[in-house]
Amino acid sequence: MTIPSSPLFIKPVLVERVWGGNRLQSMFGKPIPAGKVIGESWELCDRADVQSVIAEGTCEGRTLADVIAENPAQVLGKSLSGRFPLLVKYIDAGTALSVQVHPDDAGAKKYNDLGKSECWVVLHAEPGAEIIRGLKPGTTREDYASAVAEDRIEDVLNKFNPRTGDLVALPAGMVHAIGAGLVVAEIQQSSDITFRIYDYKRLGLDGKPRKLHIDEALSAIKFDNSFDAFEGDMSRNTVAPKIESRRAGVLTEAMLRGKYFTLNRYTLDPASRFTLPENADAARVLMAIAGSGKLGKKTVRSGQTLFLPACCGDFEISSSRDQTLMLLEATPLAG
């Protein structure tokens, strides 16, 4: 039995999507296979159908589920049990993703899955790129149903132009879509239920029209805006991070707080360092989204993702002499 006592680097799972863009190679060095259009890099996943694999160290080659199963209390922490409840990805939209919605926990039970509340941190935004987030104010269930039936769904969608660094909160039951020209980091409940509402009449990778889920979406959308997955005003397109501290070249921001996870962002000026304290209550995910540096004695660069076992203790993070290092830290909460 091996109990990991330090952060574990994770191998990404690259997923071909008809709307993908292949910028994940130039931005993060992801190994894009020749002739493939990669839209997603699943950075950390603990699901029956998709399993993350440890990239190096004493646990190299083993699945995350195996490592957790050997000693769940020490690896997952005091407040978690079962599977690790978050899934994190990079998403690269060469063209617009489908207009879609995800069910909440109650609506997902019939599919034997979790609901899907999520958030996006915008890492790249081309001029004019759009995000769809919610319906226009005042849109009723009847307004929406008519727009879908009459093939004019875009008339009732709320759209905005995001900027690099923006945080977008998407509670379950909110209609949304990533527009062309965007690359985002996505942190979500570990769910894979998506109800497509509109898909621009395009064909899938198999050359056939992609399935829409009109009735399922109608049942999942929260027309009364009764969103409770995240703290803050969900009528706003973006969430303003709260500065927790700014000292010795390190900016710590509380990005998002909610029922299912918290999200922090750490920005280290070149040649800066700080100590990330242990969290015995829950394992965490750390995504390096810019720059390079070290975690203890291990080199870390942008595009790499680590699993932080609850038992790994404090560890020092430092940035390179000539680069700013930026990290996202996602911590699941007991459901």
Q: Where are the alpha helices (DSSP H) in 166-301?
A: 214-220
**Which residue pairs, CB below 8 angstroms and at least 24 apart, start in 28-36?**
28/90, 28/302, 28/303, 29/301, 29/303, 30/90, 30/303
Residues 206 and 264 in one domain: no
In sequence order, the 6+-apart residues with CB closer than 8 A to the CB of 315 are 6, 7, 275, 276, 295, 296
Residues 180 and 285 in one domain: no
Residues 212 and 253 in one domain: no
Mean pLDDT along residues 254-270: 98
Segment holding 227, helix H or strand E? none
Query: What pLDDT is stored for residue 6 in this prediction?
Result: 85
Residues 21 and 117 in one domain: yes
4-8, 20-24, 316-320: least confident range: 4-8
Mean pLDDT along residues 263-271: 98
**Residues 134, 158 contacting (CB under 8 angstroms):** yes
Residue 335 has pLDDT above 80, yes or no: no
Phi and psi angles of residue 246, each rounded to the nearest 5 degrees, phi first: -145, 100
Residue 38 has pLDDT above 70, yes or no: yes
pTM score:
0.95
Where residue 5 falls among pLDDT bands split at 50, 70, 90? confident
Q: Assess if residue 35 is contained within a domain.
A: yes
Mean of pLDDT over the chain: 95
Place of tokens 């226009």: 136
Where residue 170 falls among pLDDT bands split at 50, 70, 90? very high
Mean pLDDT along residues 193-205: 93
Residues 28 and 87 in one domain: yes
Place of tokens 């049942």: 219
Domain that holds residue 156: 8-220
- With pLDDT > 90 as the criterion, what percentage of the chain qualifies? 90
Residues 137 and 174 in one domain: yes
Residue 231 has pLDDT above 90, yes or no: yes
User: Cα separation of 4 and 319, whole Å?
Assistant: 24
User: Cα separation of 47 and 20, whole Å?
Assistant: 23
Mean pLDDT along residues 258-264: 97
Q: For residue 291, what is the domain's CATH number? A: 2.60.120.10
Residues 82 and 174 in one domain: yes
Where residue 220 falls among pLDDT bands split at 50, 70, 90? very high
CA 126 to chain centre: 20
| Burial (Cβ within 10 Å: 0-12, 13-18, ≥19) of residue 269 | middle
User: Cα separation of 226 and 215, whole Å?
Assistant: 20
Query: SS3 for 219?
Result: helix
Number of domains in the chain: 2
User: Cα separation of 103 and 154, whole Å?
Assistant: 21
Q: Assess if residue 168 is contained within a domain.
A: yes
Give the end of a domain, one of 169, 188, 220.
Answer: 220
Query: What pLDDT is stored for residue 168 in this prediction?
Result: 98
Q: Assess if residue 231 is contained within a domain.
A: no
